[in-house]
């Protein structure tokens, strides 16, 4: 099986093309993504044919769970399409079917090459039932936004902002440098907190100024990653709604910088780099 290794701001993926809709991709992801006995990656991207878009993408985390949405993964997929499918790459827009809906890409070119990849990540959602967050049904019906909600983690209260970007996110704004936050201890507890029936991604963020936020991410089913596209979108959205930043805003992650633009009405636009690292063949 031929594969391509890519990364978007350090968030790395293995990509394979296939027509097999019934394969055990979950089991394969666990093997291929293993950093000691496999190729090593944060996730496996499967490029499939689609009846409703130009392509279909499925993304599997290192633990085999399937993600509804993946911003860096989609940009890496677009990079692959641009490099290997010139007929499709010439189009002004490329559409990809995901579990969270159809996403559309707008590659920005310079000198005939795609230098920055921007993708529409859909409209953020804040309803407890859509995120989903498991709170009292009567309360869920009254609560229209899950911003600034306290949960108890490790005996301490955290004021979190819940946002769905097609997948669940819990954003925590901190006043200290994010490098000092005990993410490896707190991240798993937030991910598996009883309030999240499908678990959650967790972001700790510090607002630097009106145009910059530094972020670290604990990804559901993966652990800490160098970057997260949907997580960056969730942080930018929560920061805007809290009045902390303007738009667009730069999200500074350990692996690089992503750009997020949102008009508070429509879909969130995510921009940033994507690179092919190497290609190879997996002994299937």
End-to-end CA distance of the chain: give it in Å, rounded. Answer: 6
Q: Which of 33, 70, 76, 233 is catalytic?
A: 70
Pairing of strands 55-61, 43-48: antiparallel
Q: Give dist(CA 166, CA 79) in Å, integer.
A: 22
Q: Give dist(CA 13, CA 148) in Å, integer.
A: 33
Q: Give dist(CA 122, CA 171) in Å, integer.
A: 18
DSSP structural state of residue 125: B
Is 233 known to be catalytic? Answer: no
**Residue 248 preceded by cis peptide, ω within 30:** yes
Q: Which of 33, 76, 228, 233 is catalytic?
A: 228
Is 228 known to be catalytic? Answer: yes
Q: Give dist(CA 48, CA 20) in Å, integer.
A: 8
The residues assigned a catalytic role are 70, 228
């Amino acid at each position: 099986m031929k594969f391509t290794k890519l990364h978007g701001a350090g968030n790395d993926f293995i990509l394979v093309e296939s027509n097999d809709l019934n394969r055990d991709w979950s089991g394969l992801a666990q093997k291929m993504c293993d950093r000691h006995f496999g190729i090593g990656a944060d996730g496996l991207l499967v490029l499939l044919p689609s009846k409703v878009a130009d392509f279909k993408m499925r993304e599997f985390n290192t633990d085999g769970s399937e993600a509804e949405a993946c911003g860096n993964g989609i940009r890496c997929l677009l990079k692959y399409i641009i490099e290997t499918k010139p007929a499709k790459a010439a189009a002004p827009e490329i559409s990809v079917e995901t579990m969270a809906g159809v996403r559309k890409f707008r590659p920005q070119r310079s000198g005939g090459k795609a230098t920055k990849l921007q993708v529409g990540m859909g409209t953020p959602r804040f309803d407890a039932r859509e995120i989903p967050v498991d709170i009292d049904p009567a309360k869920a019906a009254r609560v229209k936004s899950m911003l600034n909600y306290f949960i108890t983690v490790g005996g301490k209260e955290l004021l979190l902002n819940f946002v769905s970007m097609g997948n669940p996110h819990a954003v925590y704004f901190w006043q200290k440098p994010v490098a000092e936050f005990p993410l490896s201890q707190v991240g798993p507890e937030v991910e598996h907190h009883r309030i999240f029936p499908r678990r959650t991604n967790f972001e700790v963020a510090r607002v630097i100024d009106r145009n910059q936020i530094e972020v670290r991410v604990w990804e559901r089913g993966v652990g800490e990653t160098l970057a997260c596209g949907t997580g960056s979108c969730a942080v930018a959205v929560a920061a805007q709604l809290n009045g902390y930043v303007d738009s667009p805003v730069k999200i500074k992650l350990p692996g690089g910088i992503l750009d997020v633009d949102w008009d508070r009405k429509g879909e969130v636009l995510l921009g940033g780099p994507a690179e092919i690292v190497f290609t190879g063949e997996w002994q299937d």
